[in-house]
Structure 1
């Protein structure tokens, strides 16, 4: 079982915690991670892009000039694609980009993402994370205790308004609950900060 340090919010190590080998200690499958991230980004796409074909552009009903004798290239409509204001060839239309991947692939991707954070020493496990009142300055100081200089994801077991409000104004820092955790967010952020209770919940779900 992978053993990582257990910290308090002051940045002091108060012990170690053993994480489940089946969740945080598997061999990272890069291809599965790629498939999971691609699927998630595709499902986020709105698919609202649209342009008009020559059949949908207003005007162009009359032939602009006669076929022969003018010295100009023949033209059948002022709305043909090679004219300014004309229609678009193979114009994009609204479509649904979403698709599904097997549940086993999703689970393997999640466990691979979590294991990659352990292997790259980008995980911080906190004994608990509580604040008496929402205060951005206090949260900034907590993050400084763990030398967080770039993007960080804070994972909690239950929703805590004080934590959420304290994080809202910090660039590059986001929060997530165990039931909203996803592969893309885990890989997107440089530091993965999780409470002990949340880690046990993740193990319960994915072990």
Structure 2
């Protein structure tokens, strides 16, 4: 697949880039997409939830009243889970929600996400650019020139670009990431992928698969 490369002012540069068919034109696997997004969401959870059980409750351990003759059910101490202020039975405890997915599965999920974007014509390639210093206004001007002013945009760069990252930090609909760090969730969450030329090369190199011998 060939895509036109655009200049910052939105005009065509006359150059094209090739999207590797083993990355951008595969048969998408929805189950693999679900697995990888589930992994990403689960690994973001802190798992620090905690309640006190009866062993950790600060109440006294004295018997509340005599065993027999009161007409009430027998009771041990105030820490019992059935009493107000007592410990919680089977409550949440700190734990890890980490899920593991094979690396090949993760790569297939990213290729599937990129394929969906390519099929939806939601990929736009722009020439490599950077700012001397962070400027949200300049970044907005670039997005407007590309016709993406009101879209949810993921801008993929070929290498770490702190000026662009800082320029997008207070724009709720814009994210800037290195292409190699864009996850399946990041790709699916954006309405449009705005990729620098070098970012296309990075994705082609990272995610391409060798052709199967006949």
- The TM-score, its normalising length taken from structure 1, stands at 0.91
Partner of 1:3: 2
Partner of 1:61: 61
| 3-state DSSP of counterpart to 2:112 | helix
CA distance in 2, matches of 1:104, 1:132: 38
| 3-state DSSP of counterpart to 2:113 | helix
| Number of corresponding residues | 206
Task: State the superposition RMSD in angstroms.
Answer: 1.7
| 3-state DSSP of counterpart to 1:174 | strand
Partner of 1:151: 152
How does 1:6-17 map onto structure 2 within 5 Å? Answer: 6-15=5-14, 16-17=16-17
Structure 2: tracts of 5 or more residues without a match: 209-214
CA distance in 2, matches of 1:95, 1:133: 42
Structure 1: tracts of 5 or more residues without a match: none
Show CA shifts across 1:42-82 (max 9, x none): 22222211111112111240121123332333322212112
| 3-state DSSP of counterpart to 1:61 | coil
CA distance in 2, matches of 1:184, 1:101: 14
Contact kept? 1:148, 1:191, Cα under 8 Å? no
| 3-state DSSP of counterpart to 1:105 | helix
Residue 21 of structure 1: CA displacement?
0.4
Contact kept? 1:125, 1:193, Cα under 8 Å? yes
